[in-house]
Amino acid sequence: MIVILGAMDSEIAEFLSVMEQRETSVWQGIEEHRGLIDGHRVLVSKTGVGKAMAAMRTQHFIDKAAPRALLFTGLAGSLKTDIRIGDTVLGRDLVQHDLESVVLGLPRGQIPFTEIRFLTPDPALLARATQYQPPEGKVHLGRICTGDQFITHREMSSHAYLHQELAGDAVEMEGAAVALVCSLNAIPYLVARTISDMADEDAVSNFEEILPRASQNSLALVRHLLAGM
């Protein structure tokens, strides 16, 4: 079984629209959907927003479904001027940008008392994803920065670390948490994000406007991945 997750209902809606033989159950108030997409057994659900919710749900689905792979899709803000709204960012690695323990002599994003900082996805899944050709926009390999913040002013000096310390390409609120749980459980994973905004003052309106198109892009990418699995 393949587990497919997004943070919000709107980020998984397109998957449910094409799922066959769907069976739905509820755990802790969130629906889980099992069925077939293009003949592949899948479990589709939302995690909820933020790192804690994403980590908890990811561990739950790993324990429950023992998946052979986990795919996390949805939206992100761009941190680079050449990564535009509608583009797809494949996480070549992920980091928790709001994890900071400089007083311990550690670089931003490193988990204290571990060597864990940048989390890398399954090489085969990433290689397959790089062959994806979206109907609109471009595909980028990039560093996804995760934190419990909706970034709306990436140019502010308080957010300079996203560029200077972490060399980030996209910013969102769940990916590195999902990556950490998958890594510790030895589950192959990939995080892929459609750019919804430029992490600026227009972020909220851009985010809401692109939701339907982004969900369609996520479905197209996942179908591309499933075809090679």
The active-site residue, picked from 11, 14, 169, 172, is 11
Render pLDDT for 177-223 as a digit per residue (tens, 0 to 9): 999 999 999 999 999 999 987 755 554 445 567 777 888 999 999 99
Q: Quote the pLDDT of residue 196.
A: 85
Whether 174 and 103 have beta carbons less than 8 Å apart is answered as: no
| Predicted local distance difference test score (pLDDT) of residue 155 | 57
Query: What are phi and psi for residue 211, nearest 5 degrees?
Result: -50, -50
Task: Compute CA 44 distance to the chain's CA centroid, rounded to the nearest angstrom.
Answer: 14
Asked if 83 and 140 touch (Cβ cutoff 8 Å), the reply is: yes
Q: Which of 76-90, 93-107, 120-134, 206-220 has the lowest mean pLDDT?
A: 206-220
Amino acid occupying residue 178:
V
CB-CB contact of 193 with 74 (8 Å): yes
Of 14, 169, 174, 197, catalytic: 197
- The two structure tokens encoding residue 168: 């980030």
Q: How far is CA 97 from CA 75, 112, 126, 162, in A?
A: 17, 14, 22, 7
- Neighbour tally for 130: CB within 10 Å: 12
Active site residue 208: no
pLDDT band at 135 (very low <50, low <70, confident <90, very high): confident
* Contact status, residue 49 vs residue 41, Cβ threshold 8 Å: no
| Angle at the Cα of 23 from the Cα atoms of 75 and 46, rounded to 5 degrees | 20
Q: In 139-173, which positions are buried (b, 16+ CB within 10 angstroms) versus exposed (e)?
A: bbebbbbbbeeebbebeeeebebbeeebebbbbbb
Whether 159 shows a pLDDT value over 80: the answer reads no
Cut 0.85: pTM above it: yes
Domains and CATH numbers, the chain: 2-227 (3.40.50.1580)
Q: Give the mean model confidence (pLDDT) for residues 6-23.
A: 95
The reply to whether 136 belongs to the active site is no
- The structure tokens listed for 76 are 């992100």
